[in-house]
Amino acid sequence: MTHPSSYDAALLQQARQLGTSTLHEASGLAGSSVDPAIRPVWPGAAVAGPAYPLECSPGDNLAIHIAMERAPRGSVLVVSTGGFVAGYWGEVLTVAAEAAGVAGLVIDGGVRDIAALAARRFPVFSRGISMRGTIKASAPSVGKPIGFAGTPVAPGDLVLADDDGVLVLPAARVADTLAQGQRRADKEAAMMQALQEGRSTLELMGLTQWRDAR
């Protein structure tokens, strides 16, 4: 199965290196940042890939099981649950995801089996952690555009997640955002070199009029 938007390995690596904060600033899209309450479940987790969005009913993870058969390899599952925290995902689904080539999970609900997820180094970003299990009775939406905690997500959008949070870039804006992000990163690298040489942030940012402010 092909994805509506494919991203080559070099582009995904560049996105991970630039990071969510730089690319959010570069995008100019206020709505591209996901609710900051959605955090990595183990430190250092990071993932970049095309979104595969789906929606679960509260306390029901059937849609995830369906998505596991439909999602193209390399996808990041973006799962809306309406903010209901339960154990929608654990070690069994992680093993299934690895076998299916799913790159990572972003969910506005909960996950469990955290020690196993960390040991397997599978990137998971969630609103919470919960030992409470789920039923399998309904699947409101699989592979279609959704609203994810207030952020619109369509299949093939670029999802980037790291320790700073989760970013969703519309597919049509990815190339321009990465180019702008690289320019921003290069400028910041030059600034940090100047700081190491003894210059100040007030000077470098054109804020010297505030030096004597009280």
Spell out the domain ranges in the chain: 9-179
Q: Which residues contact 4 (CB under 8 A, 6 or more apart)?
A: 50, 154, 155, 156, 171
**pLDDT (0 to 100) of residue 4:** 46
Q: Is the pTM of this model over 0.85?
A: yes
Check residues 147 and 209 and name the one with the higher pLDDT: 147
Q: Which residues are annotated as a binding site for substrate?
A: 90-93, 112
Q: Dump pLDDT digits (tens) for 36-76.
A: 999 999 999 999 999 999 999 999 999 999 999 999 999 99
**Which residues are paired to 128 by β-bridges?**
110
DSSP H helices in the chain: 9-27, 62-70, 91-100, 114-120, 174-196, 201-204
Among the four given CATH numbers 3.40.50.2000, 3.50.30.40, 3.40.50.12500, 3.40.50.12170, the one describing domain 9-179: 3.50.30.40
Both tokens of residue 169?
A: 């870039």
Instruction: Report the distance separating Cα 214 and Cα 212, nearest Å.
Output: 6
pLDDT digits (tens, 9 = 90+) for 89-118: 999 999 999 999 999 999 999 999 999 999
The predicted pLDDT at position 1 comes to 38
Residues in contact with 175: Cβ distance below 8 Å, sequence separation at least 6, in sequence order: none
Q: How many CB atoms lie within 10 A of CB 165?
A: 20
Annotated binding site for Mg(2+): 113
CB 189 within 8 A of CB 201: no
- In percent, the amount of the chain with pLDDT more than 90 equals 83
Residue 6 has pLDDT above 80, yes or no: no
Question: Phi and psi (nearest 5°) for 174?
Answer: -65, -50
Q: From the annotation, which residues make up the binding site?
A: 90-93, 112-113
